[in-house]
């Protein structure tokens, strides 16, 4: 699958975990990549392994910063064919204990920034007369999860928003879809207690945690011409944990 060669791609949160797997896959196919992150040191280390990529630091919690900087990133890249919104945070707490900033920070990064990057990307893609956006959601955005009212709301919001955007811009030849990972072996899950992992596996028919590559394969498919008749959809990659 070489559909992505020379495609201009922006990935948020591409320095580790799922984002890194997506970046690596697209990089191998010859995509021209700019990745956005909050940690400059991580971005600089990433560039050592992927010397041809461009890196930009951005605070996704700040909508004004996103709106001001994102168009500049598109100019730096020389255009935009594909946007992958992967960046996300968790600030878990039970609802009655959840602080205002725990709610706001998660919503700002996981939902609001996705809207504003999509908004800016769509403007560029309309000029190109084509484009593709993939938003990374989560299985818990469909099932709910105790202690994650903020996170689940943000991820469910991304799914609904993606459907609306897909309907608005399909006639402009812009496809917008989601990939919804289940529990994936990343830095965010490596510290889970063994007994909790075992409980998780009981609910996963395939009986393993997913890998970043599992998610990257779905993302690359949605970015490629092989998915040219798919928009407004969510591909669930969760080992059977949740079957839509």
55-92 burial, b if ≥16 CB within 10 A, otherwise e? Answer: bbebebbeeeebeebbeebbeebeebbbbbbbbbbbbe
In angstroms, the CA 164 to CA 5 distance is: 29
For the question of residue 169 being annotated catalytic, the response is no
Left (φ > 0), alpha (ψ -120 to 50) or beta: where does 199 sit? Answer: alpha
Catalytic member of 151, 196, 229, 242: 151
In angstroms, the CA 179 to CA 43 distance is: 24
Q: Torsion over CA of 123, 125, 129 and 132, rounded to 10 degrees?
A: -140
Complete DSSP assignment for 95-115: GGG--HHHHHHHHIIIIIHHH
Q: What is the DSSP letter of 127?
A: H
In angstroms, the CA 131 to CA 82 distance is: 6
In angstroms, the CA 240 to CA 244 distance is: 9
The number of residues making up the chain comes to 244
Residues with a catalytic annotation lie at 151
């Amino acid at each position: 699958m070489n559909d992505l060669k020379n495609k201009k791609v922006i990935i948020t949160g591409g320095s580790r975990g799922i984002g890194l797997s997506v970046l690596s896959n697209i990089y191998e196919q010859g995509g021209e990549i700019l990745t956005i992150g909050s940690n400059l040191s991580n971005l600089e280390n990433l560039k050592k392994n992927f010397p041809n990529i461009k890196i930009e630091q951005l605070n996704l919690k700040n909508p004004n910063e996103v709106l001001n900087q994102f168009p500049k990133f598109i100019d730096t890249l020389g255009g935009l064919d594909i946007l992958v919104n992967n960046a996300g945070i968790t600030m878990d707490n039970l609802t009655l204990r959840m602080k205002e900033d725990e709610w706001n920070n998660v919503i700002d990064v996981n939902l609001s920034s996705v809207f504003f990057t999509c908004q800016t990307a769509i403007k560029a893609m309309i000029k190109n007369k084509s484009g593709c956006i993939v938003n990374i959601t989560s299985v818990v955005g469909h099932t709910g999860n105790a202690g994650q009212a903020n996170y689940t709301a943000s991820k469910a919001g991304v799914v609904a928003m993606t459907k609306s955007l897909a309907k608005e811009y399909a006639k402009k030849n812009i496809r917008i879809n989601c990939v919804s990972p289940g529990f994936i072996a990343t830095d965010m899950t490596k510290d889970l207690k063994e007994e909790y992992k075992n409980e998780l596996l009981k609910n996963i028919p395939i009986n393993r945690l997913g890998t970043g590559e599992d998610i990257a394969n779905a993302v690359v498919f949605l970015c490629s011409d092989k998915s040219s008749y798919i928009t407004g959809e969510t591909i669930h990659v969760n080992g059977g944990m949740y079957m839509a």
